[in-house]
Amino acid sequence: MSTIGPRSTPPRLSTTPQAETRPTAAAKTAPAAAVNTVSAVQSSSFDAPVAKAAAQPMPGAWRGGPDTEVGKAIAGMINRMRASDASGIQIKGDTIESLFTRAIIDNKHLSNDQLLAMTHVTLDQLADGPADSAKILQKIPNARELPVHKFTVAMLAAATGVDPKALSEASPGLGMTGAPDVFVFAAGSEGLQRSTALHDFTDYLRGAGVKGVNKAVWGVENRVLSAIVSAVGGGRY
């Protein structure tokens, strides 16, 4: 039941046309911004230019510039090490390049003339010889397959410029501890492997006629005494 009172007048509908709603500038640019954002993400993920890695510095700059005889010799040695199949082998944290740089290139007791003399060593001067090779392979049949052998061969081949495969074939004893005419074995510890690799490097060069490299690294030139210093963890490196 309704109350009695004056009748209400119904509201009049406006006949004035309403202004058409127009998209704002922000609304217009939103799709474009979204497209730009997607494009940027895609570009950064797939199309962004790849930054080139900085060239590795060449060690031994203190010995002579890149245009000097010794500078060119060092560059040849290091480039061969970096290109070697054994460049990724690490023994007690050292690669062939890091051990060679620290023990040889940066060694103040080793002269530029000794470094240059290494580049004149031939494969025949580094060969174990048939008799010793036979003894080594009889005791260590897989000598050439061991990482320490590949490591030692790569370092010595890079320093001298001889072919690493030919050197491995000619000298299976590289990286093996001991002497074939007494006793020889493949060291188990990485510490002894590393010192053996470095001592073989210096002592094979001594045998090839590059004098003083044993003394520069181990403090003594004699083959046996320098091997003892190496085995007990001595040396200038």
For every residue of 29-51, DSSP letters joined together read HHHHHHHHHHHHHHIIIIISPPP
pLDDT on residue 54: 65
Average pLDDT over residues 28-45: 44
Would you say residue 188 lies in a domain? Answer: yes
- 125-166, pLDDT tens digit by residue? 999 999 999 999 999 999 999 999 999 999 999 999 999 999
CA angle 69/71/74 to nearest 5° reads 110
Rg (CA), the chain: 37
CB atoms within 10 A of CB 186: 18
Residue 1: pLDDT above 70? no
Please give the tally of structural domains in the chain. 1
Would you say residue 103 lies in a domain? Answer: yes
Rounded to 5 degrees, φ, ψ at 77 are -60, -50
Give the whole-angstrom CA distance, residue 159 versus residue 166.
15
Would you say residue 25 lies in a domain? Answer: no
Name the residue with tokens 């060690």: 59
- Please give the sequence-ordered ranges of beta strands (E in DSSP) within 64-192, or none if there are none: 177-179, 183-185
Tell me the pLDDT band of 19, cut-offs 50, 70 and 90: very low
33-39 long-range contacts (CB < 8 A, ≥24 apart) are: none
Predicted TM-score (pTM) of the model is 0.77
pLDDT on residue 38: 40
Would you say residue 6 lies in a domain? Answer: no
Residue 47: pLDDT above 50? no
Name the residue with tokens 């083959």: 223
Residue 15: pLDDT above 70? no
Residue 27: pLDDT above 80? no
Tell me the pLDDT band of 53, cut-offs 50, 70 and 90: low
Would you say residue 76 lies in a domain? Answer: yes
pLDDT on residue 55: 75
pLDDT on residue 236: 86
Average pLDDT of the chain is 85
Residue 8: pLDDT above 80? no
Q: In terms of residue numbers, what domain contains 67?
A: 61-231
Least confident of 47-56, 128-137, 182-191: 47-56
Size of the chain, expressed as the number of residues it contains: 237
CB of 226 closer than 8 Å to CB of 205: no
